Amino acid sequence: MTMDFSLKSKVALVTGGSRGIGKAAALGLAQAGADVALASRKLPDLEKVAEEIKGLGKKSLAVAAHVGRLEEINNLVDRVKAEFGRIDILVNNAGTNPVMDPALEISERAWDSIMNLNLKGLFFLSQAVARVMKERGGGAIINVSSVEGITPGILPVYAISKAGVIMATKVMAREWAKYNIRVNAVAPGLTRTGFSVALWSNPEILEVAMSRTPMRRIAEPEEMVGAIIYLASDASSYVTGQTFAIDGGTTI
């Protein structure tokens, strides 16, 4: 048996696909052979990525959606299914962290905002897509967690939400394995994206992060793509419920 990393004839849906890790994942999946649907709140940026994917010779669909809202989740899945007829791969990348307050000062509003998108939205989108995958005989779901979900840092509610993503990954993997749906997660370390710019552009925070990272640098979004393609492909056909830390050794 040879390992098959090809995603030819597969259809992928990537949330938060307009920039950062989501954009890198979408382009990587297309390069591996998949047609790619993209979801994000801002359509113009999303459409630019869709054009890049089409330039690679693959089909793409851009859908404006807030995946923290159930109505928009259902509309998104319906749009993708209508366009492609199937969803083989889901990359749950959309996330938020609007505050850096310590746990003693977190407001209910901030808590709800973070949990709504990072955990609730991820779960219910996975549920909706898993129903489509079940009809088709299986699929692969890749959740984007964080090293903060493994070892807490300076973002308390974000860390709690990402730890929840790791457990959601295990729960879904155990329950949906009988439908040939594999569910895994990647846990990026500090990565050079617009999402995390407030962290890596702060010299003090960056110094602390580097002191905890044996490789002594932050990640680039493209460095997450290899693991995502592996988990999306048949090369990982016996892997489910796992979280892959891509962190330069931070969690050693």
* Phi, psi torsion values for 92, nearest 5 degrees: -85, 90
Whether 230 is catalytic is no
* Eight-class DSSP state of 114: H
171 within 8 A of 218, measured Cβ to Cβ: no
30 within 8 A of 36, measured Cβ to Cβ: yes
* Phi, psi torsion values for 101, nearest 5 degrees: -65, 150
Nearest-angstrom CA–CA distance, 45 and 117: 20
* Eight-class DSSP state of 250: T
C-alpha torsion sign, points 64, 67, 69, 70: positive
Parallel, antiparallel, or unpaired: how do β-strands 139-144 and 181-188 relate?
Answer: parallel
Q: Which residue among 158, 179, 230, 238 is the active-site one?
A: 158
Token pair in block for residue 247: 């962190």
165 within 8 A of 114, measured Cβ to Cβ: no
C-alpha R_g of the chain = 17
Element (H, E) at 185: strand 181-188
Active site residues: 158
